């Protein structure tokens, strides 16, 4: 389903926009479907529809745990070496050889817009019912706006200018009118507006264990801070200082609401421990999975495991597991406890390589089917702390930036920055504080689908080309680094979307 068709239907699992036959004498109604206009009657209807928006986040073609193809595999952290016919299209992402006709790219685009469509229907439908408490409406709308903003943040960073739709499209004319690429600056303005409503809402600052996975004000502040930081580093530099100060404000707001002191109080392994996830103080926003449940369990632990290994899951693995580039393996410092937790070398004859071990559930409840209970962390405090370090660096406060960087290094049992930079090998690899922060983000957040977005933020397009081409080809397997060029800063517009309106949906340069 492409952008046009995906926006024509109410995106709830059991609800569809009803059509009718042109002949007056024949009117058929699907008894298992409810017309959009007839659905929203009570505030519970709004809640159920909102739950459908959250459910859309679980789509691995969108931003869920299995979506690394669209971000992490685009970076220098991971990829795939099988470029044969059965893996040709996925290989295009890591090899910087992606075509507008790539079916995975189309599916990703569609998934993202389907989630936005669900949010738009909730926001419109929530206006038509009566609430026992006014705050209930405000909170439901804030949750939908957060998810819409989150998805648009993914879209604008991956494609630049994209269609901006903030209401249900119920007619062909509606769809045609909205099938064009809006300037990225306007998309960012909508993201900021949505998140501003979130942080000014009556949502709780943090969620209780029973409500883990739902939006909070802390999540709104953290995401808004990241949005302003991205705007400061990738948009018109005339607004750089103002955007950086806004980023500092909202990231600080999120950081000040933490329920712990220093990051070292939370062991790194505990952040990903399935048995401790409901009380994980570092988690800010996550997609919740249910251990042992065939429909709602996590599969990331089993899917990443290599043949002959049992560290991730009791499910027997037959493949090579989650790929790790030698480039990343070599970026871990000696003694970094995150390396031993996050990756492992597999000795099976068909592997003989590192695989991802960061996400584990080898419990009896997950069993030999690999129905794990890992939650997918979209925002956590180490990410916020390192973004604050980045912001303070840009604002000229290196002392504060270093103190924040040191919080993360201290938990990893690594020398603090002042000591590390006196090491010749460290200072040669990371000669500036900026590169030291980028390095720390890489090893701290590896395989959490942050790396590609970090690279976009830290480097201008021409700088990113230089950065990639300076790397060793031997550390990237079959993916050719020489393929990387300025065009790869953005994805191509999927061909099916371009066809809808070749003028309004003009292709990105280089494709």
What is the distance between the alpha carbons of residues 438 and 445, in angstroms, rounded to a whole number? 10
* DSSP classification of residue 283: E
CATH fold group of domain 1-203+475-511: 1.25.40
Residue pLDDT tens, the chain, 511 long? 343 333 333 333 223 332 323 333 344 445 455 566 679 999 999 999 999 999 999 999 999 999 999 999 999 999 987 766 456 899 999 999 999 999 999 999 999 999 999 999 999 999 999 999 999 999 999 999 999 999 999 999 999 999 999 999 999 999 999 999 999 999 999 999 999 999 999 999 999 999 999 999 999 999 999 999 999 999 989 999 999 999 999 999 999 999 999 999 999 999 999 999 999 999 999 999 999 999 999 999 999 999 999 999 999 999 999 999 999 999 999 999 999 999 999 999 999 999 999 999 999 999 999 999 999 999 999 999 999 999 999 999 999 999 999 999 999 999 999 999 999 999 999 999 999 999 999 999 999 999 999 999 999 999 999 999 999 999 998 889 999 999 999 999 999 999 999 999 999 999 9
End-to-end CA distance of the chain: give it in Å, rounded: 22
Q: Angle at the Cα of 13 (from 9 to 17), degrees rounded to 5?
A: 25
How many helices and strands, by DSSP H and E, does the chain display? 22, 4
Q: In this predicted structure, what is the pLDDT of residue 33?
A: 54
What is the distance between the alpha carbons of residues 275 and 70, in angstroms, rounded to a whole number? 29
Residue 273 φ then ψ, to 5°: -80, 115
Q: In this predicted structure, what is the pLDDT of residue 484?
A: 96
What is the distance between the alpha carbons of residues 379 and 402, in angstroms, rounded to a whole number? 21
Residue 210's CB is within 10 A of a number of other CB atoms, namely 7
What is the distance between the alpha carbons of residues 447 and 356, in angstroms, rounded to a whole number? 8
Q: In this predicted structure, what is the pLDDT of residue 34?
A: 59
Q: In this predicted structure, what is the pLDDT of residue 20?
A: 29
Output the CA–CA distances (angstroms, integers) from residue 214 to 147, 293, 343, in the order listed.
10, 20, 30
Q: Which residues of 115-132 are buried (b: 16+ CB within 10 A; e: fewer)?
A: bbbbbbbbbbbbeebeee
What is the distance between the alpha carbons of residues 52 and 54, in angstroms, rounded to a whole number? 5
* DSSP classification of residue 75: T
| CB-CB contact of 212 with 278 (8 Å) | yes
* Domain spans in the chain, listed from the N-terminal domain onward: 1-203+475-511
């Amino acid at each position: 389903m492409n952008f046009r068709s995906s926006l024509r239907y109410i995106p709830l699992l059991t609800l569809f926009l009803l059509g009718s036959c042109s002949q007056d004498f024949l009117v058929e109604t699907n008894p298992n479907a409810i017309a959009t206009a007839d659905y929203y009657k009570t505030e519970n209807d709004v809640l159920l529809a909102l739950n459908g928006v959250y459910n859309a986040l679980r789509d691995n073609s969108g931003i869920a745990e299995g979506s690394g193809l669209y971000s992490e595999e685009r970076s220098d952290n991971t990829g795939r070496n099988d470029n044969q016919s059965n893996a040709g299209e996925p290989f295009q992402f890591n090899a910087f050889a992606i075509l507008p006709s790539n079916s995975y790219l189309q599916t990703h685009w569609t998934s993202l817009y389907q989630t936005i469509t669900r949010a738009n229907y909730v926001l419109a439908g929530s206006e038509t019912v009566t609430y026992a408490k006014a705050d209930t409406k405000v909170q439901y709308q804030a949750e939908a706006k957060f998810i819409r903003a989150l998805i648009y943040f993914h879209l604008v960073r991956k494609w630049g200018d994209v269609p901006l739709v903030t209401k249900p499209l119920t007619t062909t004319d509606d769809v045609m009118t909205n099938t064009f690429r809006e300037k990225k600056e306007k998309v960012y303005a909508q993201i900021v507006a949505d998140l501003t409503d979130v942080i000014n809402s009556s949502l709780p600052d943090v969620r209780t264990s029973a409500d883990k996975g739902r939006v909070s004000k802390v999540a709104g502040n953290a995401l808004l801070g990241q949005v302003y930081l991205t705007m400061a580093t990738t948009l018109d530099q005339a607004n750089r200082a103002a955007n950086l100060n806004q980023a500092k404000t909202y990231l600080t707001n999120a950081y000040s609401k933490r329920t712990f002191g220093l990051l070292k109080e939370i062991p790194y392994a505990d952040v990903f421990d399935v048995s401790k996830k409901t009380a994980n103080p570092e988690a800010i926003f996550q997609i919740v999975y249910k251990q042992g449940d065939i429909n709602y369990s996590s599969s990331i632990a089993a899917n990443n495991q290599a043949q002959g290994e049992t560290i991730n899951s009791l499910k027997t693995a037959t493949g090579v597991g989650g790929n790790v580039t030698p480039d990343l393996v070599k970026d871990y410092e000696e003694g970094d406890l995150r390396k031993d937790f996050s990756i492992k070398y597999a000795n099976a004859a068909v592997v003989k390589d590192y695989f991802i071990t960061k996400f584990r559930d080898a419990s009896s409840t997950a069993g030999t089917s690999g129905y794990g209970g890992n939650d997918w962390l979209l925002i956590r405090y180490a990410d916020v702390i390192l973004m604050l370090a980045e912001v303070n660096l840009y604002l000229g406060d290196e002392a504060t930036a270093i103190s924040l960087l040191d919080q993360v290094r201290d938990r990893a049992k690594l020398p603090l920055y002042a000591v590390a930079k006196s090491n010749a090998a460290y200072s040669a690899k990371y000669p500036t504080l900026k590169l030291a922060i980028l390095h720390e983000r890489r090893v701290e957040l590896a395989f959490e689908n942050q790396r590609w977005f970090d690279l976009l933020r830290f480097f201008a397009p021409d700088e990113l080309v230089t950065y990639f081409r300076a790397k060793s080809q031997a550390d990237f397997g079959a993916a050719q680094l020489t393929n990387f060029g300025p065009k790869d800063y953005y994805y191509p517009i999927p061909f099916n979307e371009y066809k809808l309106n070749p003028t309004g949906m003009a292709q990105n340069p280089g494709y």
